Chains A and B, each alone.
Chain A
Amino acid sequence: MKLSRRLFISSAAVTLAAPAYLRAGLAQSAPIVIGSMTPLTGGGGPYGPEKSDAHRAVVAQVNAQGGVMGREVQLISEDSETNPEAAVRAARKLIDADKVSAILGTWASSVSLGIMPLCQEANVLQVFSGSSDYLPDGDTKGLIFNLQPLNKAWAVALADLAVQRGFTEVAFAGPKNDFAASMGESFAASLEKLGGSIVGEPFYYNPGQASYRAEAEHLIRMNPPAIFVAGYVTDFVPVYRELIRGGFTGQIITLSFAVGPAFKEAVGDAANGILHGSPVPPIGKDSYETYLRLVGIEPSGQVQNSFGCMAYDEMNLCLLGMEAAKSTDSFAVADAIRKIANGPGERVTTFAEGKAMIEAGTAMNYDGASSSVDFQENGMLKSRDFALYEVKGGEDEIILTTTSDATQ
């Protein structure tokens, strides 16, 4: 027992001492503390780093330009592990130990929803990208903003694009996660509204397997003219390989974030002919290119960092909201974000431009790297442009666009 008592005291001391030291450090300069929680491990691993990089880059730039309300912004990064269990613990630390004003960057809807009760209870602002139709249900205080359109909007837009392209009979496949599961249902419904239909039942598989051959074989046997595979890059690569190696010759439709540069490098020329759609990061637009250059990427006219650009907007909105509200109080910041995002006012695309507007007392309308960023009352996007691309010669070529109204 002696040992245990000693151990108790010393471990308690370590746990207590580390943050106390940090807290003392903060008190002198009183920076604004913001939490960045991105999926650095687990299923979201391929997408998390671009989000956390975007957060860091914006904060570094803003700090170099004098900070927010003249205060330094301190960014604390935590790994959500793409797992709500781990995310809740990380959120506890951000909220209760670091005293963050906002948590940005959560990616999986299960994580955003998982930490929502904590954030609501502590009045912490959440700005994230997620597409579960259930996301608005967890917020009763008006403290969430979502840069990604919800599932229903995706399904309407993608079904529309598929039909326009002449595919009315489409099979659906996707990993059994929140995103793809709701997508399957809504996609089937949207397709039927347009006079098309789903081939067979929506087909779900389990992500994180050693082989996807059986799944591909099942789809090939259904022999549909087109398959919409709503996967992430980690499962889409093997599924696509097995479809091609299994002799599937129909059209494959997928989501743009599954066929980014890493995918094209992985499958080479075989990527040609894939149709993919997504909410458009506005390729060629100044705000998008400013973001890409900020994180050290040369714009290629292709879909790049489709999640990173949302993280860039997350941070810009949050910091602009604080600057405009002259406060870090979440309710005031949320009100300010609504005004800044929706306008009316002069177009701004960066924190520096926005800060100048605030100083001049002019109203503004933030135009983001991921979209024009206009929110509904519940913090979800009003609408977003979707595009359908075809991969040709290893490049994305835009073929159709549509605007999905998310307010219906």
Chain B
Amino acid sequence: MQLLLNAIASAAILAPAAIGFTLIFTLFRYTNFAVGALMTTGAFAAWGMNELGLPIWMGGVFAVVFGAGLLLASDRIVFEPLRGRSGGTLLLVSIALSVIIDNVIRFAFGTQIRAFDLPLRPPLTFAGLRFTPETLWVIGISILATLAVGALLAFTRLGRALRAVADNASLASIRGLPVPRIEAAGILLAGALFGLSGTLAGLDLAIEPNLSLALAIPVIAAAIVGGLGSPLGAALGAVIIGLAEELTVAFISAPYKGAVGFVVIALVLLIRPQGLLGRPVERK
């Protein structure tokens, strides 16, 4: 049980970003490796506000806004002119973008670690389970975000439009949907989720410009395992990755934890190439 709770706590950090990642993927069909760098930026943004004396939640709000703005800006500058290029090219470009973002942070803030002004406390115990209020907050916020995005996509006009554009942009355009504006909304939403995840990650990790790779891989793994295109799938994928990691450390070998995400991806893709909750995506 404790393992499951821990897995959920780890998953809660990754889930919003995984949903954001899957959103970008369904809209534009490419793997945005810069997700890690954008999360790191989110953590730095939230930390910056916290450092100015604002409470962490306000820092988080700022990180969400900042993340949305940054992703939209990077899309306008970098990705928009490259629409229609192959997935490989865009993946490579997103890696380059990630390198740029990391080093802009390094340039501006140096390499020393940062942290939120957050008291570190021992856990509460309930029914034999150990947890801290922070953990509950993180899980709560993450579930809320997941449900909110899920509801947005399922029930609102914007959500339906987003799905229509993701399915077939040209058809959506013919049907009179303002495709560029809908795409922009999707990008803003994804960026906001990256900012949120970054803030949550900052509660656990030492905030430094070297986090990108460590964050990007499990997020992408969660999104693929859950089935690209499905927000709930991405959240579920995050839990599965988290659980697989917990089990690896507990029963197999801790240093190989880094490989777990990939093994799970390979297995899932072998058995069910569309991911757990995904629909088959028509792709080259």
- Contacting residues of chain A (178-237) with chain B, CB-CB under 8 angstroms: 203-206, 208-215, 217-218, 221, 233-235, 237
Q: A46 on the interface (CB 8 Å rule)?
A: yes
Chain A residues contacting B119 (CB-CB under 8 Å) are: 268-270
Is there an interface contact between A270 and B10, defined as CB atoms closer than 8 Å? no
Q: A238 on the interface (CB 8 Å rule)?
A: yes
Is there an interface contact between A210 and B215, defined as CB atoms closer than 8 Å? yes
Chain B residue with the shortest CB-CB distance to A266: B115
Is there an interface contact between A241 and B204, defined as CB atoms closer than 8 Å? yes
Q: Give complex CA distance A43, B201 in Å.
A: 18
Q: A245 on the interface (CB 8 Å rule)?
A: yes
* Residue from A40, A43, A246, A270 with most neighbouring chain B CB atoms (10 Å): A246
Q: B269 on the interface (CB 8 Å rule)?
A: no
Is there an interface contact between B208 and A176, defined as CB atoms closer than 8 Å? no
User: Per-position contact with A for B203-246: 1 when CB-CB < 8 Å, else 0?
Assistant: 01110111101110111000000000000000000000010011
Number of A residues near B (Cβ < 8 Å) is 44
> A217-B3, A237-B205, A269-B119 are contacts. A245–B135 as well, Cβ < 8 Å?
yes
Q: Give complex CA distance A233, B135 in Å.
A: 22
Is there an interface contact between A217 and B2, defined as CB atoms closer than 8 Å? yes
Q: B75 on the interface (CB 8 Å rule)?
A: no
Is there an interface contact between A241 and B113, defined as CB atoms closer than 8 Å? no
- Contacting residues of chain B (122-141) with chain A, CB-CB under 8 angstroms: 122-123, 125, 130, 132, 134-135
Is there an interface contact between B132 and A245, defined as CB atoms closer than 8 Å? yes
- Contacting residues of chain A (1-40) with chain B, CB-CB under 8 angstroms: 40
Q: Give complex CA distance A45, B120 in Å.
A: 25
Is there an interface contact between A244 and B204, defined as CB atoms closer than 8 Å? no
Q: Give complex CA distance A269, B119 in Å.
A: 7
Chain B residues contacting A284 (CB-CB under 8 Å) are: none
Is there an interface contact between B254 and A49, defined as CB atoms closer than 8 Å? no
* Residue from B118, B134, B215, B249 with most neighbouring chain A CB atoms (10 Å): B249
Is there an interface contact between A213 and B9, defined as CB atoms closer than 8 Å? yes
In the assembled complex, the CB of A2 is this many whole angstroms from the nearest CB of chain B, namely 25
Q: B170 on the interface (CB 8 Å rule)?
A: no
Q: Give complex CA distance A204, B245 in Å.
A: 15
Q: B255 on the interface (CB 8 Å rule)?
A: yes
In the assembled complex, the CB of B48 is this many whole angstroms from the nearest CB of chain A, namely 15
B210 interface neighbour in A41, A49, A176, A214, Cβ under 8 Å: A41
Q: A265 on the interface (CB 8 Å rule)?
A: yes
Chain B residues contacting A263 (CB-CB under 8 Å) are: 113
> A234-B208, A245-B121 are contacts. A213–B113 as well, Cβ < 8 Å?
no
Q: Give complex CA distance A360, B147 in Å.
A: 79
Is there an interface contact between A205 and B257, defined as CB atoms closer than 8 Å? yes
Is there an interface contact between B112 and A238, defined as CB atoms closer than 8 Å? no
Show 14 residue pairs from A and B whose CB-CB distance is below 8 angstroms, ordered by the A residue: A45-B208, A206-B255, A206-B257, A208-B210, A210-B211, A210-B218, A211-B242, A214-B248, A218-B250, A234-B113, A234-B208, A241-B204, A265-B115, A268-B117
Q: A233-B206, A268-B118 are in contact. List 11 more A-B contacts (CB 8 A).
A: A41-B111, A42-B210, A43-B210, A45-B208, A45-B210, A46-B112, A206-B255, A217-B250, A234-B206, A237-B206, A269-B120
